[in-house]
Structure 1
Amino acid sequence: MDLDKLLKLKNLIYLDLSYNGLSLSINNSVNSALTNFDTIGLASCNLSEFPNFLREQVGLRSLDLSNNKIHGEVPKWLFNVGRDSLQNLNISHNFLTSLEHLPWKNLRFIDLHSNLLQGPLPIPSNFTFVFSISNNKVTGEIPTLICNLRWLEVLDLSNNSLSGLIPQCLGNLSLSVLNLGINSFSGTFTSTFTKGNWLRNLNLNGNQIEGQVPRSLLNCEYLEVLDLGKNKINDTFPHWLETLTELQVLVLRFNRFHGQIGTSKTKGKHPFPKLRIIDISCNEFTGLLPTNYIKQFGAMMNVDEHVKFKYMGDTYYQDSVVVVMKGNEIEYSRILTVFSIIDFSRNKFQGEILKSIGRLNSLRGLNLSHNNLKGHIPTSLGNLKNLELLDLSSNKFVGEIPQQLKSLMFLEVLNLSKQPTSRTNSSREPV
């Protein structure tokens, strides 16, 4: 499609050709005299460079050039495009390597994720609501200047090479989402979340964070996703999280958690009333399986499969999680609200599996492998009609395989094997 023909429409102020499978032909040697665009959407239009006609768009408010094939540095002339007016900028999913700074004064929404951006973290304007620069090659520490962004709701810096300490002042922002996963942050996480905060998703997965789980998370009454996996956290099981009534995803895998989980500490209330995904694998938990918790996971029981499928998240950000399913580590970029998993594998749990686990008939995955469990495999597992994965391998079960497992029509992976003696069983071995 020849874009230059559209640029001759002198009264055109709104142009959106995104996601139609178009390949735009642009004559970048010719400047357009059209200067009154308000909105330009050219996402997924097979562009290989920034269109030259943008140079004259001084009053532009929204620009979307995502999902194209634009390479190299962001040109300096782009910094003058809508310098005082631009509110939404999306140049994600390209091959951009450098962005010196973010000079736009009124930027509200900025999405730079999935590029090849290098260098220090650029800081947007103080009026920014959403800032995503995940899946790049950004290095250095988080400047404390970022704590001046008092309107910031979503901050996603995941999958970069950021390091140093996490600024404590981040807990003072009005964040709904704080995703710092897959970086090299170290030290203890000391951010203090005050009462009345709006934090809904906290992801610190894949760093080198030490210490304990901060108790100030008790003030995060809207928290739905807490992912602290793959760090160096040395703590006992944080029972106090059970009072967070909105918590749906809890990932503590591959840390240094230890001790017995025991029973609920909340009297007269159901612990973790909305929890659907819990992964505490690859730690050093001991004692019996936390049956008192398991039998009260109400969100894993009798989910109406006929309800309309929904994904966790909000207008600007959809939640994701990494789980081990069917032998592979899988990232679910969106989490269905009917998706339920229990992974207690690679710990030191003892005792038997009680039949009450059969009440969790909405489970899709159950992994209790690489523990010291014994006794018989309960026949009540046949009640888990939605189960796709059942891994009880490398334990000490005896007796027969229950015939009831034949009724699990969605089961794709069943592992009841014993680990070969030539391989050591270590809870610290990454999966």
Structure 2
Amino acid sequence: MSAIQILDLSNNSLSGKIPTCMGSFSNLHVLDLQKNKLYGTIPGKFAKGSPLRTLNFNENELEGPIPRCLVNCTMLQVLDVGNNKVNDSFPCWLETLPELQVLVLHSNQFYSSVWVCSKTKHCFPKLKVFDLSNNRFGGPLPAWYFENLNAMKDVSEAGTELQYMGEGFHQDSITVTMKGFEFELVRIITAFTAIDFSNNYFYGEIPKVIGELDSLLYLNLSFNKVSSCIPSSLGNLSVLESLDLSSNKLVGKIPWQLTNLDFLGVLNLSENQLMGPIPRAPHFDTFGNTSYLGNLGLCRFPLSKECRSDETLQPPSKLEDDAKSSIGFGWKVVLIGYGCGMVFGLIMGYLVFSTGKPQWLIRIVEGEHRKKGRRPNKKRGGRRG
């Protein structure tokens, strides 16, 4: 079968091991074996220059590491080994694959830090779906790693026709988790972007630079050990549809900038240590109390707990900040004017008392007095009418 390009045996009850020869098909573009009962290891015979574009082993019983020979598949766009028993550290070498757009490793036995890779400027240049959920990854979330996810910053596809990955060749599909439930995307829109690092051991701050991923639709960092405050920069994710930061150690107030997320349909901030009033906005008020449960310091609608008088003040918006700055600038000008006027008045007073009546000042004052004292000519005014 050296000429075969697409081999799709998904959604069956196939068992046994995957034949090693499948990795050596010289013309194979798609190998889709998801949702079977296959076990053993992933084939490790992918030769250099392989045209493989999609490799999907999701929902089987595969073990062992990811074969390093996949680095030879420079055309690979989709790699999905989720819901298996793969036991391996993070495959750093996948960063070099220039076309990789979907990386799904969720629900396996991966371990160690994801960030042991070198700080290259070209890691995952086209990655749009990054799913590491339900593993044993750990370590902080470094800002430099998210800075390199350039494909999640590109909003150039907005407004164009809907396109799907593999359209006209083979329809790729993945499974995402929202609100604790798994949903299968039978077709992947090319503009779909997601980061799911939930159910791991990540800790430290949420990098502010995530706010620069302006085409991100889905962000899930739940069930980790992330601490510190929620960065206000997340309010810049203008197309975000789902935000889940639940079951962490987040502190401080909910930033009012989150009310700018007009497309947000799912919000979960429960089981943290947040405090203060919940921001009010027409769209933000649609989220129920389940979005905030477990935060004993939060108050105001939709929770039944009322805020104290010193907590009810809404943090100023950007417009209010600008107004305050302009008012402050105006008062500075007024103060400068008063100061100059006082100095001028003192000088003129000194001249009056020391030199008598300065003639030029008397002419000005008396001239103004005469003008004010003139009566209008009624006859001329009537004639003019």
- Give the TM-score normalised by structure 2: 0.69
Contact 2:111 2:138 (C-alpha < 8 Å) held by counterparts = yes
Q: Distance in 2 between matches of 1:314 and 1:202?
A: 16
Q: 1:362 to 1:263 in 2, by over 3 A?
A: farther
- 2:15 counterpart of 1:159: no
Q: State the match for 2:190 in structure 1.
A: 337
Q: Distance in 1 between matches of 2:69 and 2:11?
A: 26
- 2:68 counterpart of 1:229: no
Q: State the match for 1:286 in structure 2.
A: 138
Q: State the match for 2:281 in structure 1.
A: none
> Match for 2:150 among 289, 293, 298?
298
Which amino acid in structure 2 is aligned with residue 398 of structure 1?
A: V
**Displacement of 1:162 after TM fit?**
0.7
Offset from partner CA, 1:219-238 (integer Å, 9 cap, x none):
10000000000111111111
> Match for 2:221 among 347, 354, 368?
368
**Displacement of 1:326 after TM fit?**
4.1
Offset from partner CA, 1:327-371 (integer Å, 9 cap, x none):
421111111111100000000111010111101111110000000
> Secondary structure in 2 aligned to 1:380?
helix
Q: Distance in 1 between matches of 2:24 and 2:42?
A: 14
**More contact order relative to length (CA 8 Å, sep ≥ 6):** 2
5 Å-filtered alignment, 1:368-387, equals 368-387=221-240
Which amino acid in structure 1 is aligned with residue 152 of structure 2?
A: M
Contact 2:119 2:145 (C-alpha < 8 Å) held by counterparts = no
Q: State the match for 1:64 in structure 2.
A: none
- Give the TM-score normalised by structure 1: 0.61
Q: Which structure dedicates a bigger proportion of its chain to helix? A: 2
| Structure 2: segments with no counterpart, 5+ residues | 273-292, 295-385
Which amino acid in structure 1 is aligned with residue 234 of structure 2?
A: L
5 Å-filtered alignment, 1:166-181, equals 166-173=18-25, 174-181=27-34
5 Å-filtered alignment, 1:259-408, equals 259-262=112-115, 264-265=117-118, 267=120, 269-304=121-156, 305-408=158-261
**Displacement of 1:315 after TM fit?**
2.5
Offset from partner CA, 1:253-311 (integer Å, 9 cap, x none):
000000111254264x4110000001100000111124332121000003121233211
- 2:49 counterpart of 1:215: no
Q: State the match for 2:38 in structure 1.
A: 185
Which amino acid in structure 2 is aligned with residue 168 of structure 1?
A: T
Which amino acid in structure 1 is aligned with residue 103 of structure 2?
A: L
Q: 1:239 to 1:182 in 2, by over 3 A?
A: same
| Structure 1: segments with no counterpart, 5+ residues | 1-148, 422-431
Q: Distance in 2 between matches of 1:299 and 1:200?
A: 18
Offset from partner CA, 1:97-136 (integer Å, 9 cap, x none):
xxxxxxxxxxxxxxxxxxxxxxxxxxxxxxxxxxxxxxxx
Q: 1:198 to 1:302 in 2, by over 3 A?
A: closer
Contact 1:211 1:235 (C-alpha < 8 Å) held by counterparts = yes
> Match for 1:242 among 92, 95, 98?
95
Which amino acid in structure 2 is aligned with residue 162 of structure 1?
A: L
> Secondary structure in 2 aligned to 1:231?
coil
Contact 1:172 1:193 (C-alpha < 8 Å) held by counterparts = yes
Which amino acid in structure 2 is aligned with residue 250 of structure 1?
A: L
